[in-house]
Amino acid sequence: MSRVRGEGSRRGRRHKASIFAALGDETRLALLTKLSEGRRLSIARLTAGSSLTRQAITKHLRVLRQVGLVRGVRRGRERLFELDPGPLEEARRTVDRISRQWDEALARLKSLVED
């Protein structure tokens, strides 16, 4: 009902794009994969396997945090990060919407040809 015809959900497109943009980096995908294992990890731990510096990883974590893919809580002298799958669901729905719309359009066109 809030979806105006023909606009194809222009509302929030900027936000959805920012989620994909956050996912659109090899290093950040690797960070998310590590965090998806369930353990909360400090910046130092997340940096460990990487060839990048701690500060580079810190910047990537900030990008992930800004779109809500990750949360950081302070524990003593370290900050532990954990995954938040919320935005992932949103990304999945966006991908599904485009894919489904395409399938339905193809089906319509096909039925026109066949009749």
Q: Which does 64 bind (CB under 5 to 8 A by kind): DNA, a copy of itself, none?
A: none
Give 80 or 91: the residue with its C-beta nearer to DNA.
80
Q: Which does 53 bind (CB under 5 to 8 A by kind): DNA, a copy of itself, none?
A: DNA
Shortest distance, position 48 Cβ to DNA, whole Å: 9
Pair type for strands 70-75 and 78-83: antiparallel
Single-letter residue type at 95: V
Name the phi and psi angles at 26, rounded to 5. -55, -45
Distance CA 107, CA 93 (A): 21
Of the candidate spans 5-13, 29-37, 76-84, 107-115, the one that interacts with DNA by CB under 7 A turns out to be: 76-84
